[in-house]
Each structure stands twice: as structure tokens, then as C-alpha cells.
Structure 1
């Protein structure tokens, strides 16, 4: 009986530790949504007017210039090494194409929403960096679809995290994505736009699996925008995480970890190469 009692205490203790880790991860994710931190907006590379990107195939260019923007996925949150997918894309593309590839700026901001990005695209620092880019890397939309209720209640307490809430966001935020694509193309008529599609970070929670349907609708809309644009590509990521969450998600249960970012970067390089 004593051994059985010890076993149940051990199981109970382990479950409590797992719950604390999960709630801590949600706390970090909430911090990014409620208290966005600015990315570093560097000034133009010289006092002269930035040189616009020219048209033509990426292979025809002697060197490539990359500008990244969006939310915490583009910033690399969750990667212990801080490289995220952006630095890995720059390094991988340079190797794959055997030419210099430079990052003009990473303009990502933790917690950024589609509406906030639309406003940011009016900033001169953003416009200068985008004007010079041959390649624009973009992640946005995750904070719109998976935003938490302002009460900060834990999952299951008031339904903060539910497929219904995710679905409700779609009619409001999908037009924002259209506006973002339009503004990017107005600023830079020739750059290749790479949009990394959304994934459901809570797919391992049974009650949140239907949320993947909303994610699929969002990604499908992004594909339509890319097809209409003619020089944009949507790189899928949902399949990486739905069945490999433990392998590819960081401890906050929201952002990719180092391996997750590496897999995303591989796909982006393949799409560009």
C-alpha cells in the first residue's frame, strides 16, 4: 500500500510540474501579445536616397538584399540562439545560390497584429528598408487569430482559447492581409514576397484541433493573394507543427524552437532556390 501511495504522489507531482510549465509558456505568449516590443529599425544605409531593387530573376542578380518584417516569428522568439528563420534563410540562400545575400533589416515586432503592421508600413524606416529589398520575408496573422482575452484567464476559464474565437477573427483580419500585400507591392514593385503560412500551435490540445480549419482558411486566402500578385510565394508550415509540436515548438507552446525555425528556413530557401 505504501508503494502504491508513493506512486500516486509521484504521478501527481509530475502532473503539477507539467501544468506549471504549460501555464508559464502561456504567460510568455501573452506578454508578447499585450506588451509588443519594437524591432530595431535601422536608418538608411547611407545619407543618399536608398537604391530601389531592380527587376529580373533572382539568379541574374550579383547579390541579394533581404528585408524581414512581421511578428515574433520573424523576430525569432523561441529560438535559444536568437537566429530564428530569417538569419538561417540569409545564410542558406547565400550558400545555395553561391552569391552574397545580405539582411538590410529585420523589422519584426513581438505581438504585432495585421492592423498594427499596416500602420507601421507608413514609417519611413520601414519604407526605406522595403524599397531596397530583392526579397521580403513576412509572418503576420498569428496574433490576430490566437489573441487571448484581455482578462488573461487561463485556457478553459472563460473560453479564452477556443476554435470559435479563432474563427470569429477571420472576417475581420483577412482584409488586413490583402491591404498588407497591396502596400508592399506599392512600395516595391519587383521584390519577391515570401509569406510564411500560419500553423495551429495548440493542435495537441484536443479542444483546439478544430482551430486548424480556420488556419487553413487563412492560409488559403494568403495563397490567393500570392497568386494574384504573381511574384509572391506562401511557404507552408502547418504540417511541421501539427504532428511534431514537441519537436518543433519552444517551451512557451506558441513559437518555434531552434529546430522549428531551421525547418521553416529550409522551406523558404527551397522556395527561393
Structure 2
């Protein structure tokens, strides 16, 4: 019986991987865009915290921008605590990792969750210097090599906070290399290598800057839109996120930020046209979660 389950699972995930690589390559595909004048019907109702009594020019401009685009430019619900956290200090934030750091899928082309963080933290004031080293397709082995680049190493050495998204492409690599005979055990075996490389990434960053605070942002099930009822995908992603969280807990200055739960929402579309990356709404939720962790640590 187990053999037939593995066969069925192999066929399903192989189909998902084929679709994924037809839609995009890991490095060179053009990011999805939308007509800038297109009307956006779906607004972020859950995050509408506009204070109608506040008539300041700055808030009026923000309200006008939201009305025109359908997207709040900043995480208004967390704005007050954010201002309080960053206002009395100059902060350098380095974001590094894969396409989730780069902001692939953000139809507004404003840098995904990192861009939202920038606009929220620096709302009217430049209180934080945020540098984005996100690179589409990056796996843990590739990120390890990039940490040796002089520019990246220097920025991390000068940083106060490092944000990382990594790991989803490690899972995709397993799927691609075993596409014709894929079983769950392939992911279990690769997870050991992933755990080793995550530790190496952490150790290298700490060697560059022992004082910086590191936040590893978890990832979601990239196949959820295609195979919503296949629980094996959720189990794989959940196991890798748990491993990431456990490793982060081994370090005093590293925090794991879960995001998998954010993408289980069924009432709002949180995915871009490629059905793998977040759209603006998805990145908005990620930014909100990251701010929550940063400002309450």
C-alpha cells in the first residue's frame, strides 16, 4: 500500500514541478507586472485602521495613495510601535536571501515585504537604512557563497539587524532532480543537508557581526494553489520550517518568524499570477508579521 501512495505522490509533485518550471526559471524569468492604471477591486479590509479624525497632511496623502492603488503603502496597524522602536536610533537592516526577499510577485513593483518594511519604518523620516540583497532562485548553498562577497560581508558587518528568507528553493531542487521517481524520503534526506547549511549561514553571519540580530523568515507551501488537498506538501514544508525554528532557538540572537500560517487564508488571494510567489497582499501580511517580531523582541 505504501508503494502505491509513493507512486501517486510522485506523479502529483512531478506535475507541480513541471508547471513550476514552465512558468519560470530560477534566475532569468521576467517578473510579473500589471497595468499601473488597472483598478484594484480587492483591498486589504483586515488592515484598514485609518483614523478618520486625523487630518494631518501626511495621513491625507497616505489615504489618497491607498484609494488610488487599492494597496496601503505601509503597515498602519503597527506604525506607532514601529516609530517608537526605531525613532531614537539609526538602524541598518540587511535583507538577504531568495525571491521572497527580492519581492518577486509584488505586482506594485515596490520590493515585496522588504519594501513595505522600508516605507513603514521610514514613514516620513529616514530612521533606518534598509539594504536588499534578495536574489531569485537562491538556495542555502548559494547564499553561503554570497556571504563571502565583499559588499555583502561589509554590509552585514555594519548591520544592526539581518533578515533572511531561504529554503524554498532547496525543496524545489529536490523535486527537480528526482522528478521521475519522487518520494517523501527524498525530502527527508535533503533536510539534513539543509540543516547543516542553515547553521553554517548563521555561524558565518555571526562571525561577521556578533552583535547583529538575525531573523529567519519561514516559508509557505509553494504547491498549495495547485494541490490544496495533498497534505504531504504541507508535511514537508512544516518539517523544514520546524527544523529551521529549532536551529534558530539554539542561538541567542536568532529568531525564527513563521509565515506558513499566513497563507492558509482562503478568503483572499495571496498569490501572484505564477501561483507560487506572494502578491502584494501576501507580502503585506509577511511585513506585518516581521514587524511584530522585530518590535516586540
TM-score between the two structures when normalised by the length of structure 1: 0.72
Q: CA deviation at 1:272?
A: 0.9
2:104 is matched with 77
1:255 is matched with 277
Q: 1:72-221 residue pairs with structure 2 within 5 A?
A: 72-82=99-109, 83-95=111-123, 100-103=127-130, 105-147=131-173, 148-149=175-176, 158=180, 163-204=184-225, 205-206=227-228, 208-221=230-243
Describe the shift of the 1:60–1:78 C-alpha distance in structure 2 as closer, same or farther (beyond 3 A). Answer: closer
1:12 is matched with none
Work out whether residues 163 and 208 of structure 1, in 8 Å CA contact, stay in contact via their aligned partners in 2.
no
Describe the shift of the 1:248–1:206 C-alpha distance in structure 2 as closer, same or farther (beyond 3 A). Answer: closer
Q: Which runs of 5+ in 2 are unaligned?
A: 1-16, 31-84
Describe the shift of the 1:206–1:269 C-alpha distance in structure 2 as closer, same or farther (beyond 3 A). Answer: closer
Structure 1 range deviating more: 127-136 or 216-225: 216-225
Work out whether residues 86 and 128 of structure 2, in 8 Å CA contact, stay in contact via their aligned partners in 1.
no
Work out whether residues 62 and 99 of structure 1, in 8 Å CA contact, stay in contact via their aligned partners in 2.
no
2:23 is matched with 28
Q: CA deviation at 1:165?
A: 4.2
Work out whether residues 26 and 252 of structure 1, in 8 Å CA contact, stay in contact via their aligned partners in 2.
no
Distance 1:28 1:238 in 2: 22
Q: CA deviation at 1:235?
A: 1.2
TM-score between the two structures when normalised by the length of structure 2: 0.66
Q: CA deviation at 1:219?
A: 1.5
Pairwise CA RMSD: 2.9
SS in 2 for 1:62: coil
Q: CA deviation at 1:36?
A: 8.7
Distance 1:178 1:113 in 2: 14
Instruction: Report Cα offsets for 1:177-213 as digits up to 9, x if no partner.
Output: 1111111111111111111102112124056431222
